[in-house]
Structure 1
Amino acid sequence: MHRFLSSLLALLAALALWPVSASAQGATVYRCPGNVYTSSADISAKEAEAKGCKPLDGAPITVIQGPRPRTGTPVPAASGPRPADAKVDPAQQRARDGDARRILETELKKEEEKLAQLQKDYNNGEPERRGDERNYQKYLDRVAEMKAAISRKESDIAAIKRELSKLPPS
């Protein structure tokens, strides 16, 4: 289905230029069943009528650009099934899991420290006013930004904890 849509969009993109060039030459553009567009240079009026094509007289054609189809050799999926001879040694896997756990625990500690500092600065929604905040709205904007930053940090910490829970215990 994806290839069909990509092909259709590419065809429509190519055909978008036809009405301009065909109308400049006095040619008629036809819309045939199945959303196929052609010009009188490719098909005669009798053939168009026989196929059920209708002429487009100055009707605009809308073209939506789609993603270009990928070319080249496909890359095998990293998460796909592996052949039996490509299994990882259990000791090596435990070492990898241990490294991953250590990295995540370090990240968790850093993020928790940053959260603690943000909460200290936030001061339960009443942070210290700075000298450049004579305008009360600037102060309110900074408080809102601080609250959003705290919320993001809490979300980051929850994500790290989820990742840690997926790892086997050390």
Structure 2
Amino acid sequence: MNPRIFLSLAASLCISPAWADIYKCVDEAGHVTYTNSKASGRGCSLLARDQAVSSVPSASRPAPAPQNGASTSSAGFPRVDTGTQKARDSDRRRILDEELASEQKALDAARRDLASQESIRTDERNYQKALERLQPYKDKLQIHERNIEALRKEIANLR
């Protein structure tokens, strides 16, 4: 038997399992923390050694109440007043319009690049090589066309 294997087996048999006390602490907001030292705060309880430790919240626990008097929607997101939402929507429209203008410029540049590459006639006797040389330019053109289409759809969906 290999001496390294024998030594590692002997060492593993000599190691005793380590046990530590585990405390479950729940603060005022309902946040659960597991620790190996009893915290000074209230709400800490010693778990049994055979008890499973999980940070997944139980289904029976009620949802925490909203803080600072803010109301929440059914999805749990804070509500925003109408003026703030209109400002956000106008900022979004402005950003999308800027992106659309930028993509339109990039599309025009891609069209010019493709046209200039198509006008260049090298000694390509093989038509397939000419298509392979032009393909990256065509791909770039299609990407910009798809981006413009997506931006127009996004702008159309704005309120």
> Aligning the two structures, in what range does the TM-score lie when normalised by the shorter sequence?
0.3 to 0.5
Q: Please, what TM-score do these two structures have when normalized by structure 2?
A: 0.47
Q: Please, what TM-score do these two structures have when normalized by structure 1?
A: 0.44
Higher relative contact order structure (alpha carbons within 8 Å, sequence separation ≥ 6)? 1
